[in-house]
Amino acid sequence: MTFLSPGRLWVLAVVPLLVAAYVLVQARRRRYVVRFTNVALLSQVAPNNPGWRRHVAAGLFLIMITLMCLGFARPATAVKVPRDRATVIVAIDVSLSMMARDVPPNRLEAAKAAAKRFIGDLPSRFNVGVIAFAGNANVIASPTSDRATAIASIDTLTLEKRTAIGEAVFTGLQAIRGFDAQAGQDPPPAHIVLLSDGDNTTGRSVPEAIDAARAAKVPVSTIAFGTPYGTVEIDGETTSVEVNKLTLADLAEGTGGRAYEAADRDQLSQVYANIGTSLGWRIEHRDIAARFIGIALLFALAAAGASLTWFSRLP
């Protein structure tokens, strides 16, 4: 996609003005021919009518002017560039609802396997931290480039009561701040990837977490994991644990992240792959004015060549 600077597009107004001027000049020439009533003498004075050729050089010249105007408007194109570095916090819900077996063998085991693949596939230049959250949120692996440490921490996850989504975001932001302090004056960009199957039931609220993440300029991408048919058995009672997609979508949209959904292991793996791809690259707008100017020069040469060939003069 090509972008132009709106503040400079006004210069394109010169193109229709030139077209209008050319049409006006041609109209005046036709009126002069009509006034010259001695047609026989006119054919002797100008025996070779250039016809359509007289418009070619003018047309090429107008195209050249248009391209030069577009070049002046500083066109740029979006280019994917690999990130030099980044900090990614992987937050995983370990509430009791993650026992549900609607995703075999259960939601937690499927989430653990997918998260480990996600971490292993991230670029080696990225730092990765892991957070587990249920009734509270804990950093089980501080941000590091050591993939083995981050992956091993996921094997230690155990289930607990309640779900503290807001606290997971605040804990992630704290882990990022601690790492950034070690990174010095130029900390890498950060992103939180949060997987959950429920609603915020304890701790600070999701709106508070959104405000904190926006203030820190840290996007939170969320994964709503599970199906509408999940159930768990707690204290001898079967409880439905349908995924709350709305809360997670609000969190992602409010922080500038992206909201994803996954109902099985394959979908979850694909979601993590998509997130990894988006985190591994950033979009840069690169100036391509030289392309327009170069093409404009080719049209200028074509206009000059046509005029010299047919009329022995420059346009």
Does residue 312 register a pLDDT over 70?
Answer: no
Does residue 2 register a pLDDT over 60?
Answer: no
In this prediction, residues 163-182 reach a mean pLDDT of: 91
Look up the pTM and report it: 0.69
Which one is predicted more confidently, 3 or 195?
195
pLDDT on residue 162? 93
Does residue 206 register a pLDDT over 80?
Answer: yes
pLDDT on residue 105? 94
From start to end of the chain, where are the E strands?
A: 2-3, 76-82, 86-93, 126-133, 137-144, 190-196, 220-225, 231-234, 237-240, 259-262, 281-287
Q: Is 106 helix (H, G, I), strand (E, B) or coil?
A: coil
- State the pLDDT confidence band at 302, using cuts at 50, 70 and 90: confident
Alpha helices in 156-288 (DSSP H): 165-183, 206-216, 245-255, 265-280
Does residue 178 register a pLDDT over 70?
Answer: yes
Does residue 13 register a pLDDT over 80?
Answer: no
Q: Which of 6-10, 37-41, 235-239 has the highest mean pLDDT?
A: 235-239
pLDDT on residue 7? 61
Tell me, what amino acid is at 47? Answer: P
Does residue 150 register a pLDDT over 80?
Answer: yes
**pLDDT tens for residues 119-140?**
999 888 889 999 999 999 999 9
Quick one: what percent of the chain has pLDDT higher than 90?
48
Q: State how far the Cα of 18 lies from the Cα of 264, in Å rounded to an integer.
A: 62
Which one is predicted more confidently, 134 or 183?
134
Q: State how far the Cα of 157 lies from the Cα of 131, in Å rounded to an integer.
A: 10
The mean pLDDT of the chain is 83
In this prediction, residues 23-33 reach a mean pLDDT of: 65
pLDDT on residue 256? 94
List phi, psi (to 5°) of 299: -70, -35
Does residue 284 register a pLDDT over 70?
Answer: no
Of the CA atoms within 13 Å of residue 263, those in its CB half-sphere come to 5
pLDDT on residue 9? 64
> How many other C-beta atoms lie within 10 A of the C-beta of residue 84?
11
Does residue 10 register a pLDDT over 90?
Answer: no
Of the CA atoms within 13 Å of residue 298, those in its CB half-sphere come to 7
C-alpha closest to that of 172 among 106, 112, 235, 219: 219
**pLDDT tens for residues 52-97?**
676 777 788 788 888 887 787 778 877 666 556 789 999 999 999 9
Per the CB < 8 A criterion, the answer to whether 95 and 160 are in contact is yes
> How many other C-beta atoms lie within 10 A of the C-beta of residue 305?
13
Torsion angle in degrees (nearest 10) through CA of 210, 213, 216, 219: -120
> How many other C-beta atoms lie within 10 A of the C-beta of residue 88?
28
Q: State how far the Cα of 155 lies from the Cα of 116, in Å rounded to an integer.
A: 9
